[in-house]
Amino acid sequence: MVLTSAPWWQGAVIYQIYPRSFQDSNGDGIGDLNGITARLDHVASLGVDAIWLSPFFASPMIDYGYDVSDYRAVDPIFGSLADFDRLLAQAHALNLKVIIDQVYAHTSDAHAWFRESRAGRNNAKADWYVWADPRTDGTPPNNWLSVFYGPSWTWDGRRGQYYLHNFLPAQPNLNVHNPAVQEALFDVARFWLARGVDGFRLDAINFAMHDPILTDNPPVTDPALPRKRPFDFQHHLHNQSQPELIPFIEALARVVRGFGADRFTVAEVGGEQAPREMRLFTARDNRFNTSYGFDFLSAETLTPELVLEALASWKPDEGWPSWAFSNHDAPRVVSRWGRPEAPDAWAKLLLALLMALRGNVFLYQGEELGLSQASIPFERLRDPEAIANWPLTQGRDGARTPMPWSSDTHGGFSIAEPWLPVPEGHRTRAVALQEQDADSVLAVTRRLVALRRDHPALRVGDFTPLHLVAPLLGFERAADGQRLRCLFNLGDTALACPPLAQGRVLFASGAVDRQGEMLGPLATCWLAL
């Protein structure tokens, strides 16, 4: 049973594809659009509602596609617009919606807009980026710091000014205060919507508006707050998240919904102001449909308190949340929260927990296989953040290794050496191997997604926590007269769990003793009451 009154995206399971690492179709060691098309049957077999494609646009690839040099062009390493059209048609034939990334806070410094803007102070695009004169001593105009270390200002001799970049120097910030810039971005959205995409993930959208008078950010004075990078030494009140962002969001939402009420928008929102901003960006019907935060992606430990506080923070009248445990920017969750001695048990527990949450679910490629975080040798690192901070951090490369389709060399991803290595441990968890095991992580993923799809209580129902003693976690989901109880043991030993005694088992993993009311270590049980 599924609800027909809710929009398709509410409670949906959306599968994230990182194009460089999904499937190589032409033997150059880099995944591409035709490779994705060739593997869409696998995605559809999971039962998910949609795919989200990370950037495949023209780019110098300094930040692997999040530095866009042409919003309307496919980068040749991924294929062509015709290849994208075939992918889109095949996905729709398989009843998969297609969501694509849109990066509206910044472009590549190779973008034609920036090349024109930096050429002088009087051309048509002179004010399309954030330019500022130096202070009297020649230093940057204020104290703003970039996410990727160091000042968020770089000097440009052609204009004799600094330009703003909240990320890499190769990613200059657009001046989204400028109405002409807004209209240009709306035209980009119209281009892809007219092509048939079903919606957008808006990357780092809270960085799209800065304080025009360039007020210094205040320092962080609380010694309890982590300071792993220079960026963490400031409260980012002025380089992002300005009030003018809301009218822009509403205008962009109008553009999207002008192509149909079923088109979808999800905002990526990170940073210390994220809890407020996620709700603000989705607070009304004329803003984004949902927001995608870092409650779980940035958490180093899984506890019942973490889950219950994150879910409780979204009131029924405060918009609709989206959740992810893994993505291309965060260490894979089986390694981050689990332990290597029980990888399958952890993977199944975490998948069951993710699929039971109220909100949309984002499933990252390979999560359905229980892939762990890869360890990449220094000479193979590609992520600029990882290279700059080695050996203290592996950066993002360990979550971006190619998808293992078989146990063959390179995991069936490519006939050539892949852009990142395929770990041997991933090849032993390949799709082809797990297809042969009825109790594999892949098989369990399919069962869980099907249960979520078929039960309105899981897809769109209310969320009510049960007051269990940690490491037990329990909550109930209810909708349309249907009530389900979801129980998890996050600990290493069997524990008494009286709520097990009621209801009919919908799903169980691990040691579940209902007669003895015991839930084994890393065990899960869903009950229909």
Which pLDDT score is estimated for 390?
A: 79
Which tokens belong to 41? 């049957």
Domain spans in the chain, listed from the N-terminal domain onward: 13-107+177-449, 464-528
How far is C-alpha 169 from the geometric centre of its chain's CA atoms?
23
* Integer Cα distance of 201 and 18 in angstroms: 13
Which tokens belong to 345? 């048990």
Catalytic residue among 156, 268, 295, 397: 268
* Integer Cα distance of 497 and 520 in angstroms: 10
Active site residue 397: no
pLDDT tens digits for the chain (529 residues)? Answer: 444 478 999 999 999 999 999 999 999 999 999 999 999 999 999 999 999 999 999 999 999 999 999 999 999 999 999 999 999 999 999 999 999 999 999 999 999 999 999 999 999 999 999 999 999 999 999 999 999 878 999 999 999 999 999 999 999 999 999 999 999 999 999 999 999 999 999 999 999 999 999 999 999 998 888 787 889 999 999 999 999 999 999 999 999 999 999 999 999 998 889 999 999 999 888 999 999 889 999 899 999 999 999 999 998 777 899 999 999 999 999 999 998 889 999 999 999 999 999 999 999 999 999 999 999 988 999 988 788 777 777 689 999 999 999 999 999 999 999 999 999 999 999 999 999 999 999 999 999 999 999 999 999 999 999 999 999 999 999 998 999 999 999 999 999 999 999 999 999 999 999 999 999 999 999 999 9
Which pLDDT score is estimated for 1?
A: 40
Please confirm whether the linkage preceding 321 is cis (ω < 30° from 0): no
DSSP assignments along 106-137, one per residue:
B--TTSHHHHHHHT-SSSTTTTSB-EEPPPTT
End-to-end, the C-alpha distance of the chain in Å comes to: 16
DSSP E strand boundaries for 359-481 = 360-364, 462-465, 472-479
Q: Which superfamily, per CATH, for 13-107+177-449? A: Glycosidases (3.20.20.80)
Rounded to whole angstroms, what are the CA distances from 453 to 11, 53, 72, 311, 461?
9, 22, 34, 20, 12
Q: Which superfamily, per CATH, for 464-528? A: Golgi alpha-mannosidase II (2.60.40.1180)
Rounded to whole angstroms, what are the CA distances from 189 to 45, 128, 200, 245?
30, 18, 9, 17
Which pLDDT score is estimated for 394?
A: 66
From the list 398, 355, 351, 400, the residue with the least C-alpha distance to 378 is 398
Which tokens belong to 265? 């928008």
Active site residue 435: no
Catalytic residue among 32, 49, 67, 203: 203
